[in-house]
Amino acid sequence: MTSMDERNVTKPLPPKIEKRLAELVQMGEFDRGDVNHCRTSYWSARDDWHTILIDCYDEAKRRKPQETS
């Protein structure tokens, strides 16, 4: 018997969400546990996750301004 979370993880996340998760890991905002939690719960809480990802990314950019070339 599989749980709802296990079934959700089989449906891939949109590429832009995967990209944002990778950026947040690289910026030190998320760890692998956070990424896994997002992947297992994204489809059941998509609107919440969009807000979380935007807020975390904006906060990380404020704390670590990107260097310009």
Domain boundaries, the chain: 15-63
Say how far apart CA 40 and CA 68 lie, in whole Å: 35
Say how far apart CA 10 and CA 26 lie, in whole Å: 24
Structure token digits, residue 12: 């891939």
Query: What does the chain come to in residues?
Result: 69
Task: Write out the chain's pLDDT in tens, 69 residues.
Answer: 445 544 445 689 999 999 999 999 999 999 999 999 999 999 999 999 999 999 999 999 998 866 544
Record the pTM: 0.76
